[in-house]
Amino acid sequence: MTSAGNAAVFTIGCRLNQADAALICTRLEEQGWSIVRPEYEGRVDLLVVNTCTVTGAAARKSRQAVRKFRRNHPECCIVVTGCSVEIENSDWAKEDAADLILTNPEKKDIADLIIKYLEHKSVSTGHTFSLNQPVKVFQEKAAGHFPFKSRAFLKVQEGCNNFCSYCIVPYARGPERSRDWDEVISDFKQFINAGFEEVVLTGVNICAYNDNGRALTDLLRELCKIDGKFRIRLSSTEPHPNNMELLEVMRNNQKICRFLHLSLQHGTDEILKSMNRKYTTAEFADFIYAARQAMPGIHLGTDIIVGYPGETEELFQKELDFVKEMAFANIHIFTFSPREGTPAANMSGRVNGKVCEARRARLSVLAADLKRDFIISQLDKELAVIFERKGEDGRFYGWSDNYINVICDSSEIVKNSIVKVITQEALPDGSLVGNLA
């Protein structure tokens, strides 16, 4: 097909959004669009902004991005989609910088809807999902395309049934559903054949994967049987009954990265209960200990919300003690952001903003210390690294299987290929310097 023009896809937010963006690229290319980077300085005829709304700040960033692109490309057709559209639809309807606004379910038809809009400057949109629809298996009928990435993101799951008190995601992404088993296997093989040596499995809650009784652990076993030089990284995971079996699968398959990002959210049972989380700190700790026993050197990261309603100074200190005990390698810290439509938005006991800032600062100091401890623990170790870029200093920079930034100076390195490195020096920024094994 003759090119329809230059198209760029700009994504804000999680790895699942990155996977969605790759599927959008594929669908646009099938319609003849040439994919360029969002920062492309030449002519851009179409720009798709894939938004996020997990926090109020993310929603604002999405709107700011659209306005910036409108200033830079006044003649461009700007399409807005993603989670912010689902939650702030009325706000987007007033946004003059956007030409076409599409919901998450409409992403599958995005290329056709864009063509219809460009031909008629009008199109019926707004199709969404029902929060009451049953769990089901879905197909994307497209394989993600990553023209500017060193790793591929494979979407295997959508939606969430947990309805945590603070979280807007179930309303933005809909109920749990899993991607068709055969389609996942097919797309994974395409990524390996295309030369990607790291594939990240993504979803809202990948541990909830279930295609007619086949769970995430079954899927991982099947993917690890595929021939080729590659590794599999799991995106953020939620506590789930199958998680202990997941550790067994990871331990027995070296193609799976020693990496888990486990969303704790708070380090006290009192706040976890208020959040409607489905585990206790003791259950969470049991899993952490089991993970380290199964896979020495595993990177265990987490998310924590500071300043949740009802968080007293005593509870915050209790949380700090628990976090220190868990010795996370990495912590994503969020200040509580009330999202209209969630139960937590109307809870009493809101924590003062300055108190939140002070608590966040204290937790950040602890997080930096724990990260440093983890980095030091990996000195004089052999790590599997994929080097993604060569710096101006002539050295190569990449990521180990247990998610450490590794630097190496060697003319024998081939970018985007797994190599073994012996680590020798820890830098203040959290990187490790090493030599090829």
Structural domain count, the chain? 4
403 in a domain, yes or no? yes
- Lowest mean pLDDT, pick from 3-12, 249-258, 276-285, 375-384: 3-12
Query: Is the per-residue pLDDT at 277 higher than 60?
Result: yes
Q: Do both 412 and 365 map to the same domain?
A: no
pLDDT digits (tens, 9 = 90+) for 309-335: 999 999 999 999 999 999 999 999 999
pLDDT digits (tens, 9 = 90+) for 121-161: 766 566 555 555 555 898 998 888 877 788 999 999 999 99
The chain-wide mean pLDDT, for the chain, equals 92
List alpha helices for 295-338, DSSP H.
313-326
Q: Taking residues 38-59, report their average pLDDT.
A: 91
Q: At 180, is the pLDDT very low, low, confident or very high (cuts 50, 70, 90)?
A: very high
Non-local CB neighbours of 158 within 8 Å, separated by 6+ positions: 16, 138, 173, 174, 176, 177, 178, 179, 203, 204
292 in a domain, yes or no? yes
CB count in 10 Å sphere of residue 430: 15
Q: Do both 201 and 164 map to the same domain?
A: yes
pTM for this predicted structure: 0.88
137 in a domain, yes or no? no
pLDDT digits (tens, 9 = 90+) for 85-130: 989 888 888 888 899 999 998 999 999 999 989 887 766 566 555 5
Domain limits at 421?
382-436
Query: Is the per-residue pLDDT at 218 higher than 80?
Result: yes
Q: Do both 221 and 292 map to the same domain?
A: no
Q: Can you give the CATH number for the domain in which 401 is found? A: 2.40.50.140
Distances (CA, A) of 14 to 79, 85, 235: 19, 16, 9
- pLDDT score of 2: 42
CB 437 within 8 A of CB 383: no
Query: Is the per-residue pLDDT at 190 higher than 60?
Result: yes
% of the chain residues with pLDDT over 90: 81
Q: Can you give the CATH number for the domain in which 296 is found? A: 3.30.750.200
d(CA 57, CA 299): 28
